C-alpha cells in the first residue's frame, strides 16, 4: 500500500528535494504541494493524504494554525501531521503537539531518516523518542500556563490498566520499556495502549501524552522524578 504524502513548505527548493526523496521510495508518493498553510488545509481536505509534512513558518496561515484546523476536522482523522522544524524552537514544537501533530523532523534530516519518519507516522505511531518526550512534554505541556484546563472525567472511559499504560507512555517509556517494567509482553502493552487511544479518540501516541497531562493523570513533578530515575539507570539508548 502506498503512503500518500502532501508537502507543505514555502521554500520551493526544499519541497522539490523532499518530493524527489519521497517519490524514490516504492511505498510512498507525493500527491500534492502547498506553499502556505491555507493551501495546505485546502489540499488536505481535497486530497485526503495519509500524511502531511508541515512546515511551521509559512505565509497566509502558519503551520501551527493549519495543523490545528486539520486535526480538529473529524473528516480528516486519516491525515496525520509530521512537523518540519528544528528543535531549537521547542515552544513551537510543543504547540504543534498540543494541536495534534504526530511527530517532528528537522530540515536537515538524512534521506533514510526522512523515509523512516514518514513510515512511522503514517503507520499510526508517534515520532517521539523517550528523550524527545521528556524534553518537550515536561518543559512545555506540563507548564502551568501551557496546558488548558484538565478534563479528568474522560479518563473514566479507561480501565485501571489502561490508565496505567497512558501514564507510563506520558513519562516517555516505549512499549518495550513498559512491558519490562510490568512483566508483560510488548504485544499486550501495545493492545492496551491502542484500546486507550480508541476510547480517548487519540490519533496516536503523541496525543495520549497530551491527554495524560491535560487530564491531570500525570504531573510535571512526577515526570521529572521519573526522568531523573531513568537517566540515572539508563543502560541503552532511546529509540523512537
> What pLDDT was estimated at residue 226?
52
- Computed over every residue of the chain, the mean pLDDT equals 80
Q: What is the DSSP letter of 127?
A: B
Torsion of CA 105, 113, 109, 3, to 10 degrees: -60
Which of 59-63, 144-148, 173-177, 202-206 is least confident?
144-148
pLDDT of residue 97: 77
Q: What is the pLDDT of residues 69-106, one digit of tens each?
A: 999 898 998 899 998 876 556 667 677 777 888 888 88
Question: Tell me, what's the pLDDT at 127?
Answer: 66
**pTM recorded for the entire structure:** 0.67
Distance (Å, whole) CA 47 – CA 50: 9
pLDDT band at 107 (very low <50, low <70, confident <90, very high): confident
Three-state DSSP class for 81?
strand
In degrees, rounded to 5, the angle at the alpha carbon of residue 90 between the alpha carbons of residues 118 and 196 is 55
The three cell numbers of residue 5 are 504524502
Coil, helix or strand at residue 79: coil
Is the pLDDT score of 196 beyond 90?
A: yes
Nearest partner of 176 among 120, 129, 119, 114, judged by Cα: 129
Return the bridge partners of 53, or none: 7, 82
Q: Where are the alpha helices (DSSP H) in the chain?
A: 12-23, 37-47, 63-72, 90-99, 111-122, 130-136, 160-170, 175-182, 186-199, 205-214, 220-233
Backbone angles phi, psi at 52, to 5 degrees: -115, 120
Complete domains list, the chain, with CATH: 3-127 (3.40.50.2300), 138-233 (3.40.50.2300)
pLDDT, average across residues 209-226: 67
Q: Of 220, 185, 184, 190, which Cα lies nearest the Cα of 204?
A: 190
Residue 125 · residue 76 · CB < 8 Å: no
Terminus-to-terminus CA distance in the chain, angstroms? Answer: 23
Amino acid at each position: 500500500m502506498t503512503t500518500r504524502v502532501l508537502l507543505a513548505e514555502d521554500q520551493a527548493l526544499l519541497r522539490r528535494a523532499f518530493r524527489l526523496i519521497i517519490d524514490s521510495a516504492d511505498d510512498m508518493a507525493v500527491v500534492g504541494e502547498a506553499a502556505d498553510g491555507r493551501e495546505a488545509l485546502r489540499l488536505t481536505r481535497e486530497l485526503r493524504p495519509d500524511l502531511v509534512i508541515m512546515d511551521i513558518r509559512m505565509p497566509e496561515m502558519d503551520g501551527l494554525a493549519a495543523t490545528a484546523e486539520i486535526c480538529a476536522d473529524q473528516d480528516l482523522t486519516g491525515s496525520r501531521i509530521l512537523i518540519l522544524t528544528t528543535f531549537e524552537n521547542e515552544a513551537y514544537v510543543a504547540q504543534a503537539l498540543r494541536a495534534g501533530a504526530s511527530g517532528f523532523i528537522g530540515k536537515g534530516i538524512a534521506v533514510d531518516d526522512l523515509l523512516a519518519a514518514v513510515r512511522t507516522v503514517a503507520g499510526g505511531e508517534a515520532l517521539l523518542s523517550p528523550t524527545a518526550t521528556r524534553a518537550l512534554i515536561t518543559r512545555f505541556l506540563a507548564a502551568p500556563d501551557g496546558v488548558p484546563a484538565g478534563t479528568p472525567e474522560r479518563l473514566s472511559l479507561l480501565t485501571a490498566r489502561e490508565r496505567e499504560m497512558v501514564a507510563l507512555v506520558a513519562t516517555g517509556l516505549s512499549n518495550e520499556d513498559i512491558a519490562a517494567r510490568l512483566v508483560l509482553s510488548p504485544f499486550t502493552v501495545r493492545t492496551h495502549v491502542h484500546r486507550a487511544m480508541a476510547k480517548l479518540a487519540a490519533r496516536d501516541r503523541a496525543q495520549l501524552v497530551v491527554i495524560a497531562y491535560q487530564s491531570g493523570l500525570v504531573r510535571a513533578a512526577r515526570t521529572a522524578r521519573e526522568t531523573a530515575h531513568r537517566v540515572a539507570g539508563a543502560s541503552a539508548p532511546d529509540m523512537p
